Every structure is written in structure tokens, then in C-alpha cells.
Amino acid sequence: MPTVSVIIPSYNHERFIRECIQSALDQTYQDFEIIITDDGSTDHSVKVIKSFNDSRIKLFKFQKNQGACVAANNCILHSKGKYIAMLSSDDVWYSQKLSVQVKYLNEHPEVAAVFGKVEWIDESGNLITDGKFPYRDTFNVTNRTRFEWLRYFFEQGNCLCHPCSLVRRECYSEVGMLNPALAGLPDFDLWIRICLKYEIKVLDQKLIRFRRIAEGINASGDNIKNRIRNRYEHRQILNHYLKIKEPDELLLIFPYAVRYGKAEADLIHYFLGRIAIDSGWDLKMLWGLDVIYNVIQDERLSKILNEKYKFSYLDFINLVSECDIHRISLLAQATEWEQQPSTPAGQYHKITSSKAWRTARIHLLPPGSLRLRLARKMRPILLFPFSLWQKQLRNQEARLVRTSGLFDSDWYLAHNPDVAQAGVNPLIHYIQHGGFEGRDPSSSFSSAWYLEAYEDVKIASINPLVHFLKFGRLEKRKPLPTKEIKQFLTDDVETR
């Protein structure tokens, strides 16, 4: 019985499958078997696989393509190893990968799965060293407890590399195998299910070269079809959090859930819904609204919410209207801009003379303003109230941006790897720093363009998205250049 089963689902990777298999055979740890399932390849992948003469390699062939998860599950079903190591047919392991991970799992029986750090390569096998490559450090994260991982997965998304994993066989018996209904995020789905029961570990060592194929044509590639599908899959995967049964477990995962009151077992779903809505990510906001909607269909629970948490049916109705998850207001305003064009000079005069603008200048003063100078001089009297005012203002701005549908945490982290690497809250970073630096909160709003187009906003040192949400929309200001607005209107909402 081999200690490790290397499973390789293969599909039309004739160019890469030889290097992939060879990287497994070249491991310093040799107690393994290799189970390959070809998922109906139409190129010469099978011929390349059969060219290897090693009794540890077992090949299964599908006549028709059935999907990567079906192929991977077939490998698992025919495997015998104590540990399961996934290897995508276009990726390459470093020679010490299995040795390091087997040693760790042998010494840490409480850990269910172990991962490592990743280096990206292009189609030719060259390391991608471009500092602007947005996914360079996506998988290079620090280790966490399982509760911290569950919070990270909920707030940020996936950050673990499936072909860099080594998983105990019993995990698949306990939590199930890969979901064949998922194509883009089946590994993300698996990590959440595992972390609901077990601890995992990320080692601080590079163990794999992960291949990026041009134009994102591989299963995990960044293209429109994958984005559409991934958004749907992500929303379905969130349902695993509904398995949380104990308030203590909820608070270990989401310590800030106390802001909604004292958690009760029967109302955990309500708390999860509120957390999702406050994330500011449209698909999670929609999921959160659905979860709370299902809770208040129970008259008993609805009564408890009303009496203990002061959350009524009317509060829910108002909450729904605040969450512009389909960007209706933005689309409506963009249509108005197209129908009623105006010159930049006319817009500037109208804006700077408006009551909303005067209010903005009074209440959103920059750090070097008279308000702050007075606070410093009259520190015993004014500094404490001023700090409370600043904190209240930041909280208001955070909620405004969160519920606008124009801030996407995952998008922001993917396009700002320095923020992801620093581990700071992306929403807070954007409000306090990113907006002023011209960083975009999502593909639906351009901070740099907004500051360039409206000099008055830049001079006043107001976060561009906050200004747009508070004043710009009423004053018919644009979130994007006209050409991009037209493209925004024609694109499918789900592609964003």
C-alpha cells in the first residue's frame, strides 16, 4: 500500500503533461502511486502518458469529457494511499514537495491537509517575475487556525493552491469528495468543508510551479465565462457556513458578530446574513438577504428578532432597498448622463455652487484643516470629541461604500497585491488610503479618473467613491469615462 496517491486529472495538456508526470517521478520521496484519468482529451495527451514506463502509473480514460472534478474523483476512488496529492496536468512540483509534506502530516496527526508556497510560470515554464502580475502572491499566505481560515474564506475567498496540497484520505470520507457541479471553485468548496472539521497548515516553503496559460483558457483562468461561473459557484459555496450550529463557534470564526447582539443558536443564520450584507460584496449581500429572508419566514424566530434584536419585517424591507446589489441606481444615472450631456465647465460651476458641495466642504475637511488645528490647540476640550467624530465618520463612510455595490473586496485585493500581502482590511484601506491614491474599488468605478475629472474633489481631499455616493450621484457626476459607461451598460452584470 503506497503512502501517497498522486492523482492527475488530465485534459488536452499534451504540451505540459510530460513535465507534470516527470516532476512527480522525480520526487525525493518515492513511496507513491500515480493515478491518471484522462477526461476525453482530443489531443495526444494519452499517447504522452503511455510513453512512461513505470508500474506505479495507472491510467484511466473517459471516452467523453465529463469535467475535472469527475476525473479527479475517479482518481481518488481508484487510489490506495494514506495521503492524497492533487497535481494538475499543466503544473510542476519541486522535487522535495512530497517529502516535506509527508513528514509534516506524519508528525502532526491533528492536521488534515498541508500546503506550501507557490511560484508562477508561463506556458514556456519561465518564472513570472513581473512585479505588476496581480496573482503573484495570491497563494503565498501565512498560516491560520481553522476558525481564522473560515473567516478569511468568507471575507476574501480562496487563497490555497489545490495542486500544492496533501490531504489525508479520511477527509474525503468525512466531508465528501470534489463537487462535480463546480468547475471553477471546487477546491475552495473542499477547503471550507475541511476547515469546518479539521485544522490545516500552510508551510513557508515553495513547493510548486503553478502555470498561467495565456488568455486564461485553463479551468482557473481569468476570463469572462469563468468569472460568471465563479460568482454563481461562490454564492452556493457560502451555504456551508449555514452548518455552524453553536454560537461559540460562530464567534470564534466571526468575533465581530457581537455587534448584532448576543448570538443564539436558533438565530445563527440571521447573524451570518448580517455579516454577509455588511461585506459590501454584491453576491454575498444577495446571499445574506436570502438567508435572513428564510429566517423571518419562521414566525417564532421573527418574533424573537423583533423583541430581542429590534429587527422587524420593516427593517428587513429597508435593508433590501439599501443594498443596490444589481447597481440599479448606477445604471439609471448612466442612462441619464447619456440623455443629458453637459460640458465639464458647466458641471464644475453647477457642482461647486451646490448646497451638497458646500456641505461637503464643511463636514469632510482634510487632515490639515482648521477643524484639526483647533483640535490640537484645544486638546483637552476638543480632541476627544473630534476623534469620536472622525471614528463615526469613518464608520458611516465604510457602511456607505459597503452597501453601494461599487466596492469588491476580492477585486481590490487581486489588483492591489501589496494590500493583500499586508493583510489589512481592503475596505478600510480603500477608504483611508486607496481612494486618494487613485486605486479603483472595483471595475465599476475609477478613482483615478474621478479625481482627474473633478479637481474640486481632489483639492478637498475627499475619498472619490465616498464623494460620488454622497454628492456626485445627485449632481450627475460620472463614475467612469463615457466610453467605459457605455461598455458597463452592455456588459452582463454577472461578469463584474
Distances (CA, A) of 140 to 158, 205, 444: 12, 9, 28
Residue 41 has pLDDT above 90, yes or no: yes
E-strand ranges in 47-189 read 57-61, 83-86, 92-93, 111-121, 166-168
d(CA 243, CA 197): 11
Q: Could you tell me where in the chain the CATH 3.90.550.10 domains are found? A: 4-222
Tell me the pLDDT of the chain averaged across its residues: 85
- Position 496 scores a pLDDT of 35
- Between 49 and 157, the more confident residue is 49
Which range in 57-71, 123-137, 274-288 is most confidently predicted, on average pLDDT? 57-71
Q: What pLDDT score does 347 carry?
A: 46
Mean pLDDT of 15-31: 98
DSSP state of 302: H
Average pLDDT over residues 394-406: 83
CATH superfamily of 4-222: Spore Coat Polysaccharide Biosynthesis Protein SpsA; Chain A (3.90.550.10)
Q: Residue 198: what pLDDT?
A: 97
- In this predicted structure, the answer to whether residue 34 has a pLDDT above a threshold of 80 is yes
- Inter-residue contact 102 to 4 (CB < 8 Å): yes
Percent of the chain residues past pLDDT 70, beyond the cut: 82
In this prediction, residue 134 carries a pLDDT of 79
**Position 226 confidence tier, pLDDT thresholds 50, 70, 90:** confident
Q: How confident is the model at residue 59 (pLDDT cuts 50, 70, 90)?
A: very high
Confidence category of residue 390, pLDDT binned at 50, 70, 90 = low
**Would the pLDDT of 485 be above 70?**
no
Distance CA 390, CA 177 (A): 49
Residue 122 — pLDDT band, cuts 50, 70, 90? very high
Rounded mean pLDDT, 202-216: 88
Average pLDDT of 167-194? Answer: 96
**CB count in 10 Å sphere of residue 472:** 23
Determine the pLDDT at residue 448. Answer: 87
Is residue 345 exposed (0-12), middle (13-18) or buried (19+ Cβ within 10 Å)?
Answer: exposed
For residue 375, what pLDDT is reported?
43
In DSSP terms, 35 is beta-bridged to: 7, 58
Question: Measured between alpha carbons, how far is 393 from 395 in angstroms, rounded to an integer?
Answer: 5
pLDDT of residue 359: 44
**Residues comprising the chain, all counted:** 496
State which amino acid sits at residue 395: N
Q: Which residue has the higher pLDDT, 393 or 111?
A: 111
Question: Among 183-187, 406-410, 491-495, which is the least confidently predicted range?
Answer: 491-495
The winner for highest mean pLDDT among 318-322, 401-405, 409-413, 483-487 is 318-322
The distance in angstroms from the start CA to the end CA of the chain is 48
CB 3 within 8 A of CB 71: no
The predicted structure's pLDDT at residue 374: 44
Average pLDDT over residues 60-79: 97
Q: How confident is the model at residue 334 (pLDDT cuts 50, 70, 90)?
A: low
461 band by pLDDT with thresholds 50, 70 and 90: confident
Element (H, E) at 437: none
Which pLDDT value is given to residue 474? 78
When pLDDT is averaged across residues 367-384 and rounded to a whole number, the result is 42
Residues in Cβ contact with 48 at an 8 Å cutoff, skipping those fewer than 6 apart: 14, 17, 18
Per-residue pLDDT, 336: 54
Which residues contact residue 109 at a Cβ distance below 8 angstroms, ignoring those fewer than 6 apart? none
Output the DSSP codes for 39-67: ---SSSHHHHHHT---TTEEEEE-SS---
Report whether pLDDT(13) > 90.
Answer: yes
